[in-house]
Structure 1
Amino acid sequence: MEAILIEFRKISSKPVKAIILTHFHTDHITGANAIIEAEKATSNETIEIYAHETTEDLMFGFSDTYEIGLSRGVRMLGSLIPKIDNFRTGAGIGPELLINTDSELIIPKPTITYVRHKSFCVAGVEFELIHTPGETNDQTTVWLPKLQTALPGDNFYKTFPNLYTIRGSPARSAKQWYRSLDRVRELKAEYLVGSHTRPVIGKEVVAGTLLIYRDAIKYVHDQTLRLLNKGYTATEIIQVLRLPDKVRDHPHLQEHYGTVAWSIRGIFTNYLGWFSGDPKDLHPMTDKERASRLVRLVRRSRFSNTSAALTILREAQSSHKRSMKKYKKMGRHIIADDKWALELAEYLRDINAVKGSHANTAKQIRISSLRALGSEEISPNGRSYYLTYAAELETGLSLRRVKSVRAFVINSSSVRTVLGMLSSKVNGLECQCKNYSIGLDYSDIKESYLVTLRNSVCDVFSPIPHDTALDAHLKTTMSTYKSMMAEEKDLDMEVSLGNVEILQGSVRIYKNFLDCFDSVNST
């Protein structure tokens, strides 16, 4: 900060009257003391420090994990990597973090705080502080209305957002983040000044950049939600989720800091916690145990004339048989052997490595190992999970809600809730190049809604803004519309009966719009 002050004094000799902390992260607070000490040399005036009401608690709450956070943070930001050309590529959102394991940090305490949105005037400068939780829960956007300038802290920088930081912290809420960016968009700024990368200049450029940035976050959030509800694990979602081309290629969304894969894991964890849903992950083998068994398997495979897949299958059989043998003799399974058998059988399934009778053998090993693990599980929750999963494999048992139950939920929900369901039903990249603005009027409740699709992201607004150019505009009743979304009534039939009126566009346009989504009454 001392070096920055030297440069600052080259363009202004005016005294510093206030400091604004946009959030509690170390790189945004520890420079404040240098400013305060420099000003003391020329003035006895107190410099007020502005921040959100939660910032101080978060500053010191961070101390709970400070030791491991520092170690992982130094690794993540490369503070100790030698500065060699073509070797060290910076810290993602800046050249380098000038903090390491021997840094002594002085943390300033805020003196003036706010809650949601508050206006101030200091030294003739009018500014507003707006609570916009995103990268942190205390994130503040500073709005300078006379200069038409927004400073969004770390909610925006020229890289894909860091929805989960590998230095370690709870995953950030993607939903909070894109909603906060919507608040910044409402300011209609001429200048957007992020904390780490160059300003964005021009009202239209700022609006377009913020729009695609929030769309990127919402797309990853909504598609992760869509796929986890279909039963995908986080790893499986990462394998299939791809950004729309326009989003992927945007210069502000390159993965120089945050990544799509880490974001997916963070979102998955926020909704479902640490458990993947795969029963082998309930009580996973230790890395040491797995490594030891792999070494023994590789050693034995050197003397085998069978394929790698059959070698793995025989190892799974052998491991499970040892467990079953002990059960028959002692009434207890060898849990480690059943875990190993289950893992190996799942490897064969994952890569579709065996066919016919061998595939059936692998499946039977999975079923029997799950039952063995269930029988040894003390927790009723874990026991039931193992045994139910085994029944699903053996009988094809489905745990999905039946269509009539989903229809009941749709018909019992508000129109806003039903329309909100569309966000996590967008059919991936199917309509990434199509834009729709659909108007929906409900005559019985006297409400109107705008549903948009852009960059494979669906948004819902009410009422319909007056200046919206609609591709299609329908008028009906709430009950008729919900019955159609529940697939109990047919759109064409309701139009012919006069229960749905086409005010603008056509039925075909509306159907094309719906084709971009999975059915609301589907898993």
Structure 2
Amino acid sequence: MASAGLAVTLVGQSANASAQDAPPVPRSGSAAKPATKATLDYNALYRNGLPFDDVQDFKDSHRGLLAALPDPAIIKNAEGTPVWDLSVYDFLGTSETDDAPDTVNPSLWRMAKLNMIHGLFEVVDGIYQARGYDLSVMSIIRTDTGYIVIDPLVSSETARAVWKELVIPKLGDKPIVAVIYTHSHVDHYGGVRGLVNQADIDAGKVKIVAPEDFTKAAVGENIIAGNAMSRRASYMYGNLLPRGPQGQVDGGLGKTTSTGEIGLALPTDWATETGQKITIDGVELQVLMAPESEAPSEFMFYIPKYKAFCAAEDACHTLHNLYTLRGAKVRDGLLWSKYLQQSIDMFGGETEVLFTSHHWPTWGNDRVIAHLKSQRDMFRFIHDQVMRMANSGMTPKEIGEVIRLPQALATTWACRSYYGTVYHDAVAQYNLRLGFFDGVPATLHQLPPTEAGKRYVDFMGGADNVLRQAKASFDQGDYRWVAEVVNHVVFADANNVAAKQLLADTYEQLGYQSESGPWRNFYLTGARELREGVTELPVPNTASPDTIRAMPIDMFFDFLGVRLNGDRAAGKTIEISMELTDTNEKYLVGVENSAIHYSKDKSAPSADVSIVTTREALNDVMLGTSTMEKQVVEGKAKLTGDPKKLSEFVGLLDNFEFWFPIVTA
């Protein structure tokens, strides 16, 4: 009989605490150090080179305010634990002038203030936005009898609070007739269960509209590489950092992510082709498909009734990621720019307001077109110039070091590197077209960091000599070089306290200099873990019930393949037949040559073990709320053949440790 371990091994993270159990992040850290003169000089370049006297974004961010949650804006879950708390950012103040502290890049400080402006806003009469209550923005369209909701935030708690405390009192208690997911990232669908119930969806009272291939993209992105992606996301969003001038100040797209319950209501209606018209309760949407731009599945749309264009996440007030530091597939800047040109060609003559899934709207046809053009040109420039330089023989890091946006774009606030950066977006475009290898034979088969570190340290006369010289470089403000050199010492010997302290100090200054929220968070989180070690906190279980239920069974088997330990599986051959009676699916799953293979619509009487169950019962096993053994005892599953073979198969699967080290070996 299968062991109880199957309950946690199928998904691999079911033992983790939920996000709402996580302790609040501290507001300040005792280990942080002040900015150095080199950092002050570096940040002064931003202060002197950017148009801080241009306060149009502040005017736009305040425009149309109807109501706001009372300060401090805190949203709690049913247990009374905050899942969203703007009060931890009170240190930012409310001034719209450049008053950035020494430890924050003044451009990022400006964006951090803009992302503090919260409330329910009127975009035009009939379109509204709730901003400042999650990483993303919820938009609301008034229809003949109710509302369409666009992108219902990350968590059900934040979505529910916005609806009950702002929308209903200010706009009126009318039914939600549709929810639109503009794309397949969780901050654009996760809060749906806080707004609508499944019974109304099943009854046809609420449509769930999404772009083609949404479900596969939404469920799949975080499955195959989910553990590594989530661990890196804890760096990217600064989840482990104190809030304050020496810690996390912003995420670039918004303050940070909420930590409540994530849901997924499956789509009932689809946007499938550009030019398609979708009418919902008297409101027509004209579709512009944008797959493989900011998300694998994404669409934008024009609303003739309101002369409004929803650009999803393809034209926000930042240079966006062509590669996200948490890890994901590289995005195509060329394709992205073409979609933006298409939006101008199709709707540019009519649009009077543009709104997106993050940040604030842009009003007036001239300003809308200017914004779309600058975003279009920014992505096209990065892609084309990278390929021009690559075709001239330059390597990705060489390109990243010299590429600069044209002055007109570089001084446009919406093209600044708050989320993506010119450097890592450029390297990403090289990778998109040419892969990881830069063509230099020396980089084709480099030593891994630990082995390389030991050799570097030995070549450079030992750790003490390296640190002595690195300290001199630190004092000169040569932080990028210090990080590169001292990282070798740390990877050569993770117990070298002096090396870890110097590297932490270096990362800290690089964080203070970063205009990008994710870059700052990566550097400062690295510094914190070098000083304090990896602090294991409760982490969110990304395999939520809705996600598990939406997961195609073949994706489930693919994930098992990722978890199969090749060494333990060496020489073993196992064949399992699985039949799901409620979905009428049959699979023959095998292990051979240390790899999983499976065939659909096949069964084999000669299989080592056969399982007959339902998808619903399998979901319970995948969620960790039951075991296959318990399902058999309760009559929900039937096993024939050799149950030891199932136990043997389970024993070949790895459970991933979330808190693996990043800044040390």
So what's the TM-score if we normalise by structure 1? Answer: 0.55
Deviation at 1:221, TM superposition (A): 0.8
Matching residue of 2:173: 13
- The aligned runs of 1:496-511 (5 Å cut-off) are none
Q: Is the 8 A contact 1:233 1:277 kept in 2?
A: yes
**Structure 2 matches for 1:80-229, cutoff 5 A?**
80-85=240-245, 87-99=247-259, 104-117=261-274, 118-133=276-291, 134-186=293-345, 187-188=347-348, 189-229=351-391
Deviation at 1:53, TM superposition (A): 1.6
AA aligned to 1:25 is: H
1:72 aligned residue (211, 232, 239): 232
CA distance in 1, matches of 2:325, 2:203: 42
Q: CA deviation at 1:78?
A: 1.8
Aligned to 1:274: 436
Matches within 5 A, 1:41-440: 46-62=205-221, 63-85=223-245, 87-99=247-259, 104-117=261-274, 118-133=276-291, 134-186=293-345, 187-188=347-348, 189-299=351-461
Greater helix content? 1
Give the whole-Å Cα distance in 1 for the aligned partners of 2:399 and 2:370.
28
Partner of 1:24: 184
Per the TM alignment, residue 202 of structure 1 is displaced from its structure 2 partner at its CA by: 0.3
Match of 1:2 in 2: 160
SS of the residue corresponding to residue 18 of structure 1 reads strand
Give the superposition deviation at 1:84: 2.8
Alpha-carbon distance in structure 2 between the residues aligned to 1:110 and 1:151: 19
8 Å Cα contact 1:157-1:196 kept in structure 2: yes
Structure 1 pair 202/86, CA: closer, same or farther in 2 (3 Å)?
A: farther
Question: Percent identity at matched positions?
Answer: 27
CA contact (8 A) 1:18 1:49 kept: yes
Q: CA deviation at 1:286?
A: 1.8
Q: Is the 8 A contact 2:198 2:265 kept in 1?
A: no
* Partner SS for 2:171: coil
**1:234-290, Cα deviation, whole Å (9 max, x unpaired):** 000012211111110101011110100111111001110111111011110121222
Amino acid at match of 1:281: T
Contact kept, 8 Å, 1:15 with 1:39, in 2: the verdict is: no
Bigger drift between 249-258 and 63-72 goes to 63-72
Q: What is the CA–CA distance in structure 2 between the aligned matches of 1:32 and 1:234, rounded to whole Å?
A: 41
Pairwise CA distance, 1:297: 2.2
Output one character per residue of 1:29-63: Cα deviation in whole Å (capped at 9) or x when no partner. Answer: 1111211139969x975311111121111112122
State whether residues 132 and 183 of structure 1, in contact with CA within 8 Å, keep that contact through their aligned partners in structure 2. no
Deviations 1:288-339, CA, capped at 9 Å, x for gaps: 2221122222327999xxx99xxxxxxxxxxxxxxxxxxxxxxxxxxxxxxx
In 1, Cα distance between equivalents of 2:315 and 2:443: 36
Q: How many residue pairs were aligned?
A: 301
Q: Is 2:386–2:426's contact at 8 Å kept on the other side of the alignment? A: yes
Which residue identity is paired with 1:155? Answer: D
Q: Is residue 116–residue 130 contact of structure 1 (8 Å, CA) maintained in 2?
A: yes
Q: Alpha carbon RMSD of aligned pairs, Å?
A: 2.5
- Assess if the C-alpha contact under 8 Å between 1:131 and 1:140 holds in 2: yes
After TM superposition, give the deviation of residue 141 of structure 1 in Å: 0.4
Cα distance, 1:86 vs structure 2: 5.3
Is the contact made by 2:211 and 2:297 (CA closer than 8 Å) also made in structure 1?
yes
Structure 1 residue 21, shift from structure 2 partner: 0.6
1:126 aligned partner, one-letter code: E
Q: Match of 2:424, as an amino acid?
A: W
Residue 265 of structure 2 aligns to which amino acid in structure 1? P
CA distance in 2, matches of 1:229, 1:86: 42
Judged with a 3 Å threshold, the aligned counterparts in structure 2 of structure 1 residues 185 and 26 are, in CA distance, closer, same or farther, namely same
Q: Which runs of 4+ in 1 moved over 4 A?
A: 38-41, 300-303
Structure 1 gap segments, 5+ residues each: 309-523
Q: TM-score, normalised by structure 2?
A: 0.43
What secondary structure, in the 3-state scheme, does the structure 2 residue paired with 1:243 have? coil
Structure 2 unpaired stretches of 5+: 1-158, 471-665
Cα deviation, 1:153-203, whole Å, max 9, x if unaligned, reads 111111112111011011101111000111211211111001111000000
Q: Matches of 2:326 and 2:363 in 1, distance apart?
A: 32
SS at match of 2:248: coil
1:52 aligned partner, one-letter code? P
The corresponding residue for 1:35 is 195
Find the residue that maps to 1:121 and give its secondary structure: strand
Higher RCO (C-alpha under 8 Å, 6+ residues apart): 2
CA displacement, residues 392-446 of structure 1 (integer Å, 9 cap, x when unaligned): xxxxxxxxxxxxxxxxxxxxxxxxxxxxxxxxxxxxxxxxxxxxxxxxxxxxxxx
Assess if the C-alpha contact under 8 Å between 2:302 and 2:309 holds in 1.
yes
User: Does the 8 Å CA contact 1:174/1:221 hold for their aligned counterparts?
Assistant: yes
Name the residue aligned to 2:550.
Answer: none
Give the Cα separation in 1 of the matches to 2:186 and 2:332: 20
Whole-Å separation in 1 of the counterparts to 2:385 and 2:211:
32
Distance 2:273 2:239 in 1: 35
Q: Is the 1:92–1:256 contact (alpha carbons within 8 Å) kept by the matching residues of 2?
A: yes
Q: For residues 69 and 293 of structure 1, what CA distance do their matches in structure 2 show? A: 30
Q: Is the 8 A contact 2:457 2:463 kept in 1?
A: no
Q: Which residue of 2 aligns with 1:371?
A: none
Once residues 209 and 429 of structure 2 are traced to their aligned partners in structure 1, the CA distance between those partners, rounded to angstroms, is 31
In 1: Cα distance, 2:340 partner to 2:224 partner? 29
Pairwise CA distance, 1:220: 0.8
Q: One-letter code of the match for 2:420?
A: G
Distance 1:205 1:224, change over 3 A: same
